[in-house]
Structure 1
Amino acid sequence: MKKIFYSILLSGMMVLSACDALDLSPEDYYGSNDFWNQKSQVEMFMTGIHADLRDKYQMPVTLGEFRSEILISDVTSMGEGVYGPPMTNNLLTKDNTGVDDWYEVYPNIMHINLFIRNVDKEIDYMTGTEKSFYLGQAYGLRAYYYFYLYRTFGGVPLETESKVTEGSIDITQLYKARSTPEETLEFIKEDINKSESFFNESDKKISDQYEWSYYATELLKAKIYMWSAKVTTGLPSDDIAGDHIATLTAVDPNNSDLLTAKKALLNLVNQQFELLPNFADLWTPEGKKNREIIFALCFNKNELTNWGANWFYNVALFTNATDLDGNKYGPDPLKLLTAGPLRYEYKVPFIEIYDKEDTRLDATFFQYMFEGKNRGACWKKLMGQTDGGTHYYDSDVPVYRYADVLLMLAECENGLGAPDKCAAYINEIRKRAYGDKFEQHKYIAGDYADNEWAILQERDKEFVGEGSRWFDLLRLRDSNGKPFVFSAKAHYGSSLPILTEDKAYMMLWPVNVEVLNGDPEIKQNPGYE
């Protein structure tokens, strides 16, 4: 943990107003009594906490998709080396962990801890309603970070203080052992329930989809409790972590965690959210802040762009590309101007799981043949826009959208023993995907395992690049009651599962050696020693 705290001392807070960035003062200023004395400072600090989150916009895809075996792990269709190994080829070891320092989220958590410490007390410059709203955001965002850490590493250090702002301190006081997985999950539940309780009735509206809200808390709560219902990490006696273990493997109409998840999800139904009629409209410049978005990270051509260029063809090399029928495209069919080199690309067997009638296929991928022999595809959700002779990768990054609510409700109903309700939620997604071809693709409820598979495939097609699949593979179950990460049919284009059962420990990630060397209290995950 020592390195974590040093990085906080060196980090500056970045604040956003809408999408306008301003530099703030050094970190130690925010721990002083000079800062926390007026409402505008609280607002500014919370905006900075959201800026912290935007800085981590790649985290959902890195931790939630890279390991799910749908990305090319060596050379792209255009002959360019990919980014992402050893994650994309599932070759993580204690010396090659893919990510460093718990994905470097502890400085972000420290900022939230500092905020809570200074706002969750008697203050006379904010009303109780105003203070509650900001605390609802803070506890929700802290639960968001810790839930990613828990699903990725198991038990982690639970840091709730901001000691580095308290003046001179013995470095050994900053050492902190990992809590057990059970303790970590209980802490996350406590935080998300605090977040829910702090939001007032007046907060149950979306004023800004770039801000954490009551509805973001409800969706995260559903994710936490659904995970709790279906996955146990290690055993209560474990001092750090064990494998993710399947727990709910069949119908249980009285499962309290699933019932809690369902209740949270229903709080988002019949509110101000709905599916956009056309899936492709979600990803256009005009589609920003649409009625399907519950929470998103803002990108703006005049302020900050994202990593979209890494997902598109190299314009300089694309002159001889054709469509899949052999018709020549021309030098730059998507009008990207300067895109490339292509560094992330989805595998063809994954793209082939889409039916041709599924409108999500062309809205998600731009397919081509390169030099008449290599079939490839660009992921289009982050295509951005061309303006004034320049292409900007300024697509917003969705964190939560309403389609997820519907498919999570399908999963809840399946676990609670209501297969017809499960199928109805799946079909709400398919109606948009297939349009007037829907009746040919209508889902008819099957048994528990059939429905789990249908949910996985629907999530695979719906949430490409949104950081869902790896966690879906760990949570959803096959007919043997085992996570789909051990099922060959979920490993598209292969006869082998993504993980064999002797590699079950790899459901969790290893802790990198710098963390282990920096804090003698931290222990490695089993299997990686």
Structure 2
Amino acid sequence: MQTRITHILAILLAALSLSCDSYLDLRPENGTVRQEFWQTKEDVQAAVIGIYSAMLNTPPSESDLTLAEYLFMYGELRGGMVSPAAFTSNDQSDIITTNILPSNSITTWSQFYRIINYCNTVIDLAPDVLEEDPTLTQEQLNNYLSEALAIRAYLYFTLAKSFKDVPLKLDATLSDGDNFQLETTPQDQIFAQVLVDLNDAERLSVEDYGNTPENKGRITKFAINAMQADLHLWLENYDEALVAADKIINSGQFELIDASPQWFTTVFALGNSTESIFELQYTPENRGPFYGIFLQQPQYLAAPAVLEEVFGVDFDEPENKDVRGERASLVPGTNEIYKFTGLNEDQRKALQESDTHWFVYRYSDALLMKAEALNELGRGAEAISIIEDLREKRAAIAQTQEQVSPQDQDGIRRYILAERAREFAFEGKRWFDVLRNARKNNYAYLDILLGVALRSAPANQQQSILAKLQDPNSHYLPINTFELYTNKALTQNPFYK
């Protein structure tokens, strides 16, 4: 049975990864998917495995980057906490300095749409297997559909946060006759579809697969709840964000781990801890990209001021440290990003053991999203309590504590943002946190974004960067030149015309 599943998966991935001249780069040969697959429940299982495999790896015939690398770049390069390193490319450096052109290779979205098509294929074709294989139950089908819906939602959510308006394709690419000339869909409509998908996914979801690796490495109800809370914060639906976050918090399935010398190893080096909600599961046999991009030929460093300004330094008592900072997020002195290569506070992993996961959502995210919703609902005291509880668990130092009144909504907002910088350093969240807060109430807090840009911009470029960032369209990436060439229906972000 396992051999059959592996064989099906290999053929399926090959069929769905064929290179072509469309911007989606996804078309299989006519008839292949529908005629040769989707006969048994093992076929459905193999297709879902294929989605996760695609999230971890690049296509074997492609030179594209992994999804985790794009998530890192989109979420961190403009967030003020990353600096160029010895092997930074010009395209990477241009994004860090807000000098972005449509020709920048990082703006390609083919990896996202490739995986979206895997999801669409499962959503479209898996239900027909109920008639072909009586051993496939409706509950099993529902669970598989939940995974595909949630992952599709997460990818579209990320694209809309990164590019604003993107094409929305909800049916599988199965034939050369499919339409590849697709217009962009406005961000608010993308968000609306993401919400529909997440609500459907929650209804069909699994809470417990029966083992920890699957509970942390596959979509569960709680991973969906985390996505819902995140989306509702972007939509400024704070009551709904609170409900979604509380589903995780009140489940009893997660808890923070006290600060100790073992904390880093437990949460990051080993992964799948009680703090984990959803992680992309790398293994020694299928290692992630992090050893190369952060250590062997480093493309990124922590910005020079991160240790002192984000985590704080106690000059009177140097051993008094936030557990998340030194030798957790970064290495002092060299500013090496350590979170994805370290084994413990003293040792890095060996290359052959460099299996640190990519952390999509952790329990602290649910807590801080709840704090953000509470604050926006005028419940500042409850929000502060969550922040302080988290800080106590992380041994945060007095130098980063802020004395804010429960009535100081803006002060609490910025305190949460600062705490999120400490908690999720280099996990692909910083730029999105900055942008989400800056655009609240019709960009009432644009100064948050401008402040981040000023702290990281070269002195001779500060004024030009500030001028660019006055236009909200500049907060999103341009549609890549190649996508515009292959899909004539696309409309470029007006800032980049």
When normalised by structure 2's length, the TM-score is 0.81
Counterpart check, 1:402 vs 2:363: yes
Alignment-derived partner of residue 378 in structure 2 = 417
Instruction: Go from structure 1 to structure 2 and tell me whether the alpha carbon gap of 1:292 and 1:411 turns closer, same or farther (over 3 Å shift).
Output: same
Counterpart check, 1:505 vs 2:473: yes
Deviations 1:338-395 (A, max 9, x none): xx33321111122221223322221222112xxxxxxx31111111558998653221
Instruction: Go from structure 1 to structure 2 and tell me whether the alpha carbon gap of 1:389 and 1:476 turns closer, same or farther (over 3 Å shift).
Output: closer
Structure 1 residue matching 2:495: 3-state secondary structure: coil
- Partners of 1:346 and 1:439 in 2: CA distance: 20
Alignment-derived partner of residue 53 in structure 2 = 51
- Partners of 2:76 and 2:193 in 1: CA distance: 25
- Partners of 1:390 and 1:137 in 2: CA distance: 31
- Partners of 2:127 and 2:24 in 1: CA distance: 25
Counterpart check, 1:64 vs 2:75: yes
- Partners of 2:116 and 2:366 in 1: CA distance: 26
- Partners of 2:32 and 2:255 in 1: CA distance: 40
Query: Pairwise CA RMSD of aligned residues?
Result: 3.0
Alignment-derived partner of residue 305 in structure 2 = 349
Deviations 1:172-225 (A, max 9, x none): x32111122232221111111111111267779965311111111110011111
Instruction: Go from structure 1 to structure 2 and tell me whether the alpha carbon gap of 1:41 and 1:388 turns closer, same or farther (over 3 Å shift).
Output: same
Match of 2:125 among 118, 129, 152: 118
Counterpart check, 1:365 vs 2:330: yes
- Partners of 1:174 and 1:487 in 2: CA distance: 38
Q: CA deviation at 1:29?
A: 7.4
- Partners of 2:184 and 2:400 in 1: CA distance: 51
Match of 2:192 among 186, 199, 203: 186
- Partners of 2:42 and 2:475 in 1: CA distance: 44
Deviates more, 1:377-386 or 1:82-91: 377-386
After TM superposition, the structure 1 = structure 2 runs for residues 25-40 of structure 1, keeping only pairs within 5 Å, are 31-40=33-42
Structure 2 residue matching 1:434: 3-state secondary structure: coil
Match of 1:212 among 206, 219, 231: 219
Kindly indicate which of the two structures has a greater share of residues assigned to helix.
2
Kindly indicate which of the two structures has a greater share of residues assigned to strand.
1
- Partners of 2:282 and 2:211 in 1: CA distance: 23
Instruction: Go from structure 1 to structure 2 and tell me whether the alpha carbon gap of 1:217 and 1:139 turns closer, same or farther (over 3 Å shift).
Output: same
- Partners of 2:466 and 2:259 in 1: CA distance: 36
Structure 2 residue matching 1:398: 3-state secondary structure: strand
- Partners of 1:103 and 1:470 in 2: CA distance: 21
- Partners of 2:76 and 2:348 in 1: CA distance: 31
Alignment-derived partner of residue 456 in structure 1 = 417
- Contact 1:97/1:510 (<8 A) preserved: no
Deviations 1:21-46 (A, max 9, x none): xxxxxx76761233212112211111
- Partners of 2:37 and 2:362 in 1: CA distance: 35
Aligned residue pairs total 441
- Partners of 2:429 and 2:349 in 1: CA distance: 35
- Contact 2:165/2:184 (<8 A) preserved: yes
Instruction: Go from structure 1 to structure 2 and tell me whether the alpha carbon gap of 1:201 and 1:286 turns closer, same or farther (over 3 Å shift).
Output: closer
Code of the aligned partner of 2:247: N
- Partners of 1:261 and 1:472 in 2: CA distance: 15
Alignment-derived partner of residue 490 in structure 2 = 522
- Partners of 2:53 and 2:403 in 1: CA distance: 41
After TM superposition, the structure 1 = structure 2 runs for residues 257-296 of structure 1, keeping only pairs within 5 Å, are 257-270=237-250, 271-278=252-259, 281-283=263-265, 287-296=270-279
- Contact 1:218/1:265 (<8 A) preserved: yes
After TM superposition, the structure 1 = structure 2 runs for residues 240-259 of structure 1, keeping only pairs within 5 Å, are 257-259=237-239
- Partners of 1:389 and 1:346 in 2: CA distance: 21
Structure 2 residue matching 1:476: 3-state secondary structure: helix
Code of the aligned partner of 1:8: L
- Contact 2:24/2:180 (<8 A) preserved: no
Q: CA deviation at 1:6?
A: 6.5
Alignment-derived partner of residue 170 in structure 2 = 160
- Partners of 1:287 and 1:384 in 2: CA distance: 10
Structure 1 residue matching 2:273: 3-state secondary structure: coil
Percent identity of paired positions between Structure 1 and Structure 2: 22
Q: CA deviation at 1:260?
A: 0.9
- Contact 2:100/2:477 (<8 A) preserved: yes
Code of the aligned partner of 2:312: D
Structure 2 residue matching 1:295: 3-state secondary structure: strand
Structure 1 unaligned regions, length at least 5:
11-26, 230-256, 313-339, 369-375
Match of 1:130 among 122, 140, 156: 140
Instruction: Go from structure 1 to structure 2 and tell me whether the alpha carbon gap of 1:419 and 1:52 turns closer, same or farther (over 3 Å shift).
Output: same
Code of the aligned partner of 2:154: Y
When normalised by structure 1's length, the TM-score is 0.76
Structure 2 residue matching 1:161: 3-state secondary structure: coil
- Partners of 2:163 and 2:452 in 1: CA distance: 26
Instruction: Go from structure 1 to structure 2 and tell me whether the alpha carbon gap of 1:99 and 1:514 turns closer, same or farther (over 3 Å shift).
Output: same
